[in-house]
Amino acid sequence: MNEATGGAAGPSLTPGGMEGVRPLGPKRENGASALPSSDVGTVVLHWISAIALVTSLVTGIRISADALYAVVSKWMEPILPQGEIWSVHIWAGLALFGTSTAYLIYMATSGLSARISARRLSPLRMRAPAKLRWLSVNVLLHWLLYVLVVALTVTGVLLYLGFGGWIVSVHLAAAFGTFAYTLAHVIAHFGYGGWRQWLRIFRPARLAPSVGQRSRYPFLIASFVAVPTAVAIAALDYESRDELLVQTTTDIPTIDGITDDVAWRSARPVRIRTSQGANLGGTGESTVEVRAVRDATMIYFAFRWQDPTRSLARLPMIKREDGWRLVGHDADRADVVDFYEDKLAVIFSASDAFAGGGATHLGPKPLADKPSSLNERGLHYTADGSYIDMWQWKASRGGLLGYMDDQYIGPPREATVDEAAKRARYQGGYWNDPGRSFYSYNFGFEGPGGYKGPVSPKRLPKSADAATRAIGKFDPTNADLSQDEGSIWWLTDAESVPYSKEADARFPVGSIMPGVLIQGEYAGDRGDIRAGARWKDGYWTVEASRNLSATSRYDADFTGRKPLYMWVSVFDHTQTRHTRHVRPVEVRLRLAAVQ
């Protein structure tokens, strides 16, 4: 806050003289006057707000550095904090709002409001001593800070509620504007009173009585108003969370991706606004509608979300003069945003901590003793030893063949030798449930710097013509092209043969084949979730079912014995840059039978 414009020391432009000012004191023997000071209330509120502001800024810039096209925030990345940033950022923002509110109340009740009066700007419009002009600059900066705080608060609340788009840009601009303000604030104080002016914020003094003072205890009043206000905001947020009510039904829905079943008509939907993902028509936003019902032994979910394209081509391969090459970019960094499949991720956690139960840890290396992720954006893991159930529907890797991949987020795993050397992908605590899936990849792994030349396919279609017909319409220069209904972007053993030069010679240059292999069957805990999916008119619909009771520590229990919270993320032909929402959705089971 601004101390150069009054308080315990500093000139007042009001006709009444030195309002709220403590005299500088007698001169010392060497002729120097005593160091200036500020009233206790200003000092306390200044440092609380400064700590909250800096914390909010550095954590917010860390979040911003994760954006696909981040420039300035990415450049600042080496000095930014890492780890579970979301909770710190949100609580710091609430603290900043609380202290800003407290400061306004303190100014109004302490008699110090004259220090920020618009009349103090008049020296900027006339010939005046330099000190008075610097005084006016400090007043102007004071109100600029409030404009920035209001902008950060309003856009921050909207982002918290799941909005994105231009709101992200305004929020980021206000954050960088606050950085600029901080520098200007320090310079303006030095211009007003030199290094002695800087020191006053470290020298609290008793508030000097003034004519405009409305209370003997302005700081106490400000605290009694601001603290309950901040607590009330947090309580309102807690009480207004979305709830997914799981009703009991005797009409079992068919798991086919079509929600015309009787059970879904009576199921109350929850609509979750998600944003800040890649693609999605350039908006990066998608609203996910979720319904859920249960019977005596099973739970059923219906997910429906906006996605303008039906994307199934997960890193296909194209025949060139020098061999087969991947179609797509940044596969070596696990950060593909062009030729990839559509996905939906759902997590269920016993924790209601922000941003996925507190399991999202941002930064190039959030774990000092573990490898970074390939894309150096962060890792998913839990810090308390708990396990979060993750369901991933993957369009070309079983999603259209009846399965939703059962995975989990838990404590960070120890890295293998290959993971430590980036010859395999390290994922922190994000891993697969015990058992096996039936999908794999038709090419080998290549880490950072890889996939720049030809790759070695593991299998080839038996017929080049049949493979072309199966994949349907495809343009290797247009990642936003929607794939045809009925197109098949995977190879089975029955439709393919092991790679050989003789078989390869039958494929002309320009041939396309899938990058996914489907072999065998799902088995074990990993195959617990059955799913059916359909894309129509710009929307995906996925139905899924699983046993109510957990079969392992990696699975969520849907019996209602413990609180359970849900988050969803949409992937529009992108590998890892999914949409997100911060607030949890509580999953509540209605145990009574439907009459």
Cα distances from 120 to residues 104, 116, 138, 580, in angstroms, run: 18, 7, 9, 46
Domains 38-239 and 243-589 share a fold: no
pLDDT digit string, tens, across residues 270-319: 999 999 999 999 999 999 999 999 999 999 999 999 999 999 999 999 99
- Give the mean pLDDT of the chain: 91
Rounded-to-integer distance, Cα 557 and Cα 546, Å: 10
- Listed by start position, the domains of the chain span 38-239, 243-589
Query: Does CATH place domain 243-589 in 2.60.40.1190?
Result: yes
Q: Which of 2-6, 378-382, 437-441, 552-556 has the lowest mean pLDDT?
A: 2-6
- Alpha carbon distance 298, 303 (integer Å): 17
Which CATH architecture fits 38-239? Up-down Bundle (1.20)
Taken as a whole, the chain contains a residue count of: 595
| Strand bridging mode 512-513 / 317-320 | antiparallel
Q: How many CB atoms lie within 10 A of CB 497?
A: 13
Instruction: Give the list of residues 6+ apart from residue 551 with CB closer than 8 angstroms, or none.
Output: 525, 528
* Rounded CA separation 549/546 (Å): 9
* Percent above pLDDT 90 for the chain: 82
Put simply, whether the predicted model's pTM sits higher than 0.85 gets the answer yes
pLDDT > 70 in the chain, percent: 93
Query: Helix, strand, coil % (nearest 5) of the chain?
Result: 35, 20, 45
Give the angle subtended at the CA of 406 by the CAs of 405 and 409, to the nearest 5°. 120
Q: Which long-range contacts (CB under 8 A, 24 or more apart) does 249-252 make?
A: 249/293, 249/294, 249/295, 249/594, 250/295, 250/593, 250/594, 252/295, 252/298, 252/300
Which phi and psi (to 5°) does residue 279 adopt? Answer: 65, -130
- The string of pLDDT tens digits covering residues 189-230 is 999 999 988 988 999 988 888 877 888 899 999 999 999 999
pLDDT for 595 equals 41
